[in-house]
Amino acid sequence: MAIRHYWPMAAAAVGFRLVLVLFGGDLHLSSRPEVSTPLTSLRRLAEGYWLKQASMSPYSGSMYHGSPLLLSVLGPLTSKRSGGHNAHIYCSLLFVAVDFIAAMLIRSTGRTLQMARDKSLKSLDLTKSVNDSANVSAGDTASLIYLWNPWTIITCVGSCTSPIENLMVVLMIYGACSRLAPLAAFGYVMATHLSLYPAIFILPVTLLLGYGPDTPPSKVFLQKGLSTSRIDMSDNGKSTSQRCFGQISWKPIIHFILWVFMWSCYVLFLNSIILNKVGGLQEMFEKTYGFILTVKDLSPNIGVLWYFFAEVFDFFRSFFLIVFNMNIIFMVLPLAIRLKHRPCFLAFVYTAIVAMLKSYPSAGDSALYLGLLGLFANELAEMQFTFFLFFGYIGVSLLSPVMHNLWIWRGTGNANFYFATGLAYTCLQTVLVVETVSSMIKHDRKLRLLTKA
C-alpha cells in the first residue's frame, strides 16, 4: 500500500534542508564530534586542498585523511575565493542533492524488494494471510525515513562528506538488487575507497547478483513442493522468469568482478594523477586506510574506541587494534550463512555493524542504516523493543551534546560523562541488530508454519 502524499512529503524534506542551508546561518554543526569526524570533516578537506594548491602533499601533517578524488570535487567549493559563508552553502546544496538521489535509490530498491516479496508469497499461496497483518510500501517508507531522519538532516547541513559515502553504499545495493553489475561495482569500489569498511559488502552484493532479491528460506519452498522459488531479475530490473532453487547465476557475478577490477584501476589511476608530484599512492594508503585501522586520532566521537585507546597501555595497543579490527570480520561469515536467502537484509545488518564498530563513527552512519531499516517494514512489523529503541536514540541524541558541553566548555564534567553516552549509543545499536535479526528469523519461521498449515 503506497503512502499517500509521498511527493509533497519528500519535497518538504528537501525544502526544509534548503531553508536550513540558506537561512539557518552558521549552526556550528561542523565542529560537533557527533557529526564530523577526522575522515569526513569539510574543514580538514579545505586544509588538504590548500596544501595541494601550495604544491605540497595534502597529507602533510595530520589534518586530511580522505580521498584525493574528494579534493578535486569538493576542494574548489571550499576555496576562500568562493567567499567564506558561500563556500559552506555551495557544499551543503550539493549534499542536499546527494541526499535526495540516495532517497530515490532507496525507494527504487524497496520497490524491487516488494516485487520479489509479492512474487514469493504468491507462489506459496500466502499473499492474503501475510498481507492482512502487514503490507506497506517499503520503498516509500524507507526513503521518507531517510529524508526526515534528524541525523540525516544535520549530516547534510553539517559540512561533512558522509552523504557522499552513504550515496555510494546505496548505489551499490541498488545496482545489486537491479542486477546492474557495472553500477553495483562502481558503488562498491567508491564506497570502499572512501571508507574501507564497505569492503565486507562483497558477500551480500554477490548473493544479490547471483540469486536475486530477498526471498523466504529454501525450507519453505521445499515444504510447499515448489521447484521454482527464486525470482530471476532481468537487466532492467523487471521480473521475467523463475529459475530452480539453489541455481546460482554466475554471469552477473563474473561481470561484477570484472567491473570491480576495471573501476579499481580507474580510481587508482585518477588518484595517481591528482597526487602527481605532491605525494603518491603509498602515502595515500598510509594516511587513509592506515589512519582508519590504527586509530591514531583520539579526539572524542560517538563511538567507544577513542576512549578505550586513550586509556590502554601502549604495550597492549597493537593487540587490541587487531582484536577490534577483526571483530567486524568475525561476524561477516556467520551472518552470511544464516541470512544467505536475504542478501539485502544482510547488507543492512553489515551497515549497522560497521556503524557500531568502526574507528571514527558519526551520525551519518546511523542515518544510513536507519533508512535501510525501512526497507523491511513488513518483515519486521512484529519487532520487539521498538519503543525502547526509539526513545533511546532520542535520549542519546539529546544527552550527547549536553555531556560534551559539560566536559569541554563548562568544566563541570569529565570524559566519562561523554563516554557514557557513547557506550549507551553502542548498546542501543547492539540491541537493534540483535532484535532485527531475531525478528527476521521469526518471520521466516512464521512463513514455514503457515506453509505447513
63 pLDDT higher than 60: yes
The winner for highest mean pLDDT among 109-123, 271-285, 346-360 is 346-360
Q: What is the pLDDT of residue 134?
A: 62
Distance CA 120, CA 374 (A): 20
Instruction: Identify the bridge partners of residue 243 per DSSP, sorted by sequence position.
Output: 230
Q: How do residues 369-402 score in pLDDT, each as one tens digit?
A: 999 999 999 889 889 889 999 999 999 999 999 9
CB 96 within 8 A of CB 83: no
Is residue 179 pLDDT above 50, yes or no?
A: yes
pLDDT > 90 in the chain, percent: 59
Confidence category of residue 234, pLDDT binned at 50, 70, 90: very low
**C-alpha dist (Å) from residue 228 to 78, 108, 206, 241, 285:** 55, 25, 21, 10, 46
Split at pLDDT 50, 70, 90, the class of 323 is very high
Burial of 74 (0-12, 13-18, 19+ CB in 10 A): buried
Q: Are 253 and 209 in contact (CB under 8 A)?
A: yes
Alpha carbons 344 and 224: distance in angstroms, whole number: 24
What does the pLDDT look like over 123-158, one tens digit per residue?
A: 877 777 676 556 778 899 999 999 999 999 999 988
pLDDT at 110 over 60: yes
The secondary structure of the chain in percent helix, strand, coil, rounded to multiples of 5, reads 70, 5, 25
Per-residue burial over 144-164, b if 16 or more Cβ lie within 10 Å, else e, is bbbbbbebbbbbbbbbbbbbb
Sign for the CA dihedral angle at 61, 65, 66, 68 comes to positive
pLDDT tens, 413-434? 788 999 999 999 999 999 999 9
